Structure 1
Amino acid sequence: MTDTSTGAGGLARHSMPRLGPVDRELSRRDRPLATGFFIDFAGPAPATEDVRRRVLARATGLPALHVTLSPDGRAWQRTPRVDDVGVHVRHRTGISGVAELERLTSHLLRAPLPGDGHSAWDMWLLSGYGPQRFRIAFRVDHAQLDGVGAAHTALGLLADTPCAGPRLLEPSSPSIAGFVHLARDLTRSLHPARVRHHAAACPGGQVRFAHAQLNEEEVRARADILGVNVNDACLAALALALGAWQKRCLAGMRRRDIPAFVPMSTRQAHERYAAGNRLAAYRLLLPCTAGTLAEAADQVRRQTTAARNCRRRESGRAALNYLPLPLGLAGTRLLSHPTRVPVVASSITFPEAPVCFGARPVGASMFCDLRTGSLGYMSFTRVAGTVRCGVAFDARNPGLQAVPDDWSDICRSGT
């Protein structure tokens, strides 16, 4: 019987996975690409020692927290037991207010992850900015974990009791239509995106993070009016928000639709905590030039429905599993290249609100540092009846700061 819970009760031993094409592509950097979650809680902040004690006790059963890349970057190798939690667990207290909290959160997007033989992950407890508020940041090298894997691992470290994490993929067969859909995306990715932006992310540059949050019921009501699901409504509103950004900040240039890289988790139950990435992706053209939200939603719905109906997720998993590594790596590199898809648009849902150290979550953001040449990483995270739009962007492109608020306004107004 497969244990489908998260938290300490669902931990099990896993064999070491091979380094797959996505892992190889994400590890081609001079420093790890950080991904993970910023989770806000309502309640008194836990003591640093309580967090360290829990992390130390549980990290031993989470295999992705015990790996590093081999010197040649071709394989995973195990690290010793996580004993030095001072490397992996940090506490910043005395934060003066929300403005300082957000500055520190942005700093963590690109702050170095543990190295020197330590597995590249850490957890930050951020407190002091409110009497009954604290934020936890869980960061990990994206080569070690994808978003769904990071979510299950974070729950395994933090949750007071086991609770359901993001949906895991039920085994299913790929389809010829799915492979054709993938081939079309690869062909379209041969051409650079036509949208121009002043400041694509550059190595060593500063990255900022902005977010806005709505009640999920409010977004669902808007989605029902539009005849789409919540995720499609979020993507449509994001497209219009990016259209507004182009109008404000790209003076003298035509607004253009923006190709987005949309990750899809292919992680299955037996891979819940496994190291490495289990994901496929497809190319979605964000309709930034649409005249109305209804028009944008219709264009998004047609694309997401086509990807779903052809079983693109399952076909992508099969392609990456069975193609020779050089072909899988070349396809991954082409489909995800920032000059071809300037935006990453990701989404994740926590079906249960995890209680951590006696506190309940009031919102969360999935995040990822920017790859060189990227316009932005944009995510929709659903937890505890909320939907949060998060945007990571290069500090030299400050106009993107307004995108989450514009997204919120568009969802609310429907225009």
Structure 2
Amino acid sequence: MPDPRPGAHDTPPASLPMGTADLAYHLAMGGRPLPAGFLFGFSGRAPTLDSVRARVAERALRIPALRYRIARSSRTFTRVDAIDVERHVHEAWLPGDDDGSGAGRLMLSRPMGGDGRPPWDVWLVHGPAGGHSLCYRTDHTFQDGVGAAHTARALLDDHPAGGPPAYRGRRPALGGLVGALGDVAASFRAGDMPAFDVPVSGRTTLCQAVVPVARLRAVGRANGATVNDVFLAALAHAVGTWHHKNTGSVHPPLPVAVPMSVRPGGEECAPGNRLVVARVLLPCDAPSPRHALSRVTARTDGLRAGRQRDALRLLLTAGPRGVGARVGTRMVNGRSVAGPVSSVDFGSALVHQGSTARRSVVYSGLGAGIRCLTTLTSQHDTACLAVIHDEALKGADELPDLWLAALLELERL
């Protein structure tokens, strides 16, 4: 079936320069790949590896983001004119993976190809009792979460349409420009985050929780908040509870980086990152989830009113990309923030060969001293919270249950 997405039938340029965000990831990782992508969990009989490879072979050359490799020495993306599907599509068995998190850990731990081919692969992972996962994986230097969502749908979905909404740029307000400059200035100071002040082990693991999206929306409607606000408030209370349980102390407001997409319409499957990050202090010191939600909502309302997303985009791209990239590396590293906290709405459920995914998860590895990454991925009527953390964070696997408890408390108010 032809891919309906814009740009899917155009001949892409022979090479493209890294953008500011791409270069920031390249610098932060020292040229090493940082795995990122989407995982889709299914029930029932799995497709065959040959059938998945046939789908990928049919579509890959029509999707711009799959046509480039990273030329790190020249800091460019270089087009390829042939794709060896057998080197990009793989199979694995995890018979003990009862909740699907093992597939995520596998994607985080498997080495990525460094042989000059385009930096993506697809995995068919067989779980217990007929369950299986399809995983699309790329290098974060090459693609952000929203781009990965569109690319995964274009590559794997029976009817590839929809996905996260396009960014529509506007002129930033004065308050947004002031806020953006304040975020940059704050990145030069070490963040106060005692729960995450542990040496990095370099070993990454993942834990998760699944909830109906309707629960998050209902809490949001009752409090004049968005689903993302509810996610952040429950996470703030979860971290505060976790830290207090371990130390008996109140955790100070936690600096995190909140990615915001600036991917415009027509570039859904274009290579490269199209994102900026805002600095947010999660109110881990709030006495209740309700108080945390009130403080989070005030902060995000201010971001929207000042159009800080537009201000950050202007600030990071107005000058030389090297300058913007180095500013970006300061804003997202383990000295200034605990880690990224990201929310992606995938849209309607992925359907592959007639089977509908039960859940989806956006994930990324850790780098630049980051100890923890938390994502909330919505698909149709289901949301999945994933906490990807360094193994040095002992007990961090409690955070999904603490997040669910905070959500339940918000529902009772």
Q: CA deviation at 1:25?
A: 1.5
2:154 is aligned, of 146, 153, 156, to 156
Conserved in 2, the CA contact under 8 Å of 1:39 and 1:365? yes
Q: Paired residue for 2:3?
A: 8
Q: CA deviation at 1:252?
A: 6.2
Query: Which whole-Å CA distance do the structure 2 matches of 1:255 and 1:313 have between them?
Result: 28
Q: Paired residue for 2:42?
A: 41
Conserved in 2, the CA contact under 8 Å of 1:200 and 1:394? no
Q: For 1:3-402, what aligned pairs fall within 5 Å after superposition? A: 8-10=3-5, 11-13=8-10, 14-15=12-13, 16-28=15-27, 29-82=30-83, 84-93=84-93, 95-99=94-98, 102-131=101-130, 133-196=131-194, 197-202=196-201, 205-249=202-246, 251=247, 254-402=250-398
Secondary structure of 1:26's aligned partner: helix
Q: CA deviation at 1:172?
A: 2.5
Q: CA deviation at 1:335?
A: 1.4
Q: Which amino acid aligns with 2:205?
A: R
Q: CA deviation at 1:97?
A: 2.8
Q: Paired residue for 1:3?
A: none
Secondary structure of 2:266's aligned partner: helix
Query: Which whole-Å CA distance do the structure 2 matches of 1:234 and 1:117 have between them?
Result: 39
Q: Which amino acid aligns with 1:130?
A: A
Residue 404 of structure 1 pairs with residue 382 of structure 2 = no
Query: Which whole-Å CA distance do the structure 2 matches of 1:200 and 1:107 have between them?
Result: 23
Conserved in 1, the CA contact under 8 Å of 2:119 and 2:138? yes
The alpha-carbon distance between structure 1 residues 71 and 377, as it changes in their structure 2 partners (threshold 3 A), is: closer
Q: Which amino acid aligns with 2:133?
A: R
1:26-75 CA-to-partner distances (Å, cap 9, x unmatched) read 11325201111111123321111110011111110112222222241522
Query: Which whole-Å CA distance do the structure 1 matches of 2:72 and 2:397 have between them?
Result: 38
Secondary structure of 1:116's aligned partner: coil
The alpha-carbon distance between structure 1 residues 372 and 329, as it changes in their structure 2 partners (threshold 3 A), is: closer
The alpha-carbon distance between structure 1 residues 128 and 186, as it changes in their structure 2 partners (threshold 3 A), is: closer
The alpha-carbon distance between structure 1 residues 30 and 111, as it changes in their structure 2 partners (threshold 3 A), is: farther
Paired-residue identity, %: 30
Q: CA deviation at 1:21?
A: 1.8
Query: Which whole-Å CA distance do the structure 2 matches of 1:295 and 1:329 have between them?
Result: 36
Query: Which whole-Å CA distance do the structure 2 matches of 1:43 and 1:316 have between them?
Result: 45
Q: Which amino acid aligns with 2:257?
A: F
Per mean C-alpha deviation after superposition, the further-off stretch among 115-124 and 223-232 is: 223-232
**TM-score, reference length from structure 1:** 0.92
Query: Which whole-Å CA distance do the structure 2 matches of 1:27 and 1:373 have between them?
Result: 15
Contiguous gaps of at least 5 residues in structure 1 = 1-5
Runs of 4+ in 1 over 6 A off after TM superposition: none
The alpha-carbon distance between structure 1 residues 100 and 41, as it changes in their structure 2 partners (threshold 3 A), is: closer
Query: Which whole-Å CA distance do the structure 1 matches of 2:165 and 2:359 have between them?
Result: 18
Contiguous gaps of at least 5 residues in structure 2 = none
Secondary structure of 1:160's aligned partner: coil
The alpha-carbon distance between structure 1 residues 192 and 145, as it changes in their structure 2 partners (threshold 3 A), is: same
Aligned length: 404
Q: Which amino acid aligns with 1:39?
A: F
Q: CA deviation at 1:333?
A: 1.6
Per mean C-alpha deviation after superposition, the further-off stretch among 379-388 and 222-231 is: 222-231
Q: CA deviation at 1:282?
A: 0.4
Q: CA deviation at 1:283?
A: 0.3
Query: Which whole-Å CA distance do the structure 2 matches of 1:100 and 1:75 have between them?
Result: 39
Query: Which whole-Å CA distance do the structure 2 matches of 1:361 and 1:292 have between them?
Result: 35
Q: Which amino acid aligns with 1:70?
A: A
Q: Which amino acid aligns with 2:222?
A: I
Conserved in 2, the CA contact under 8 Å of 1:68 and 1:120? yes
Q: CA deviation at 1:200?
A: 4.5
**TM-score, reference length from structure 2:** 0.92
The alpha-carbon distance between structure 1 residues 100 and 220, as it changes in their structure 2 partners (threshold 3 A), is: closer
1:206-241 CA-to-partner distances (Å, cap 9, x unmatched) read 210110011111122222333311110110000111
Secondary structure of 1:8's aligned partner: coil
Per mean C-alpha deviation after superposition, the further-off stretch among 23-32 and 169-178 is: 169-178
Conserved in 2, the CA contact under 8 Å of 1:7 and 1:163? no
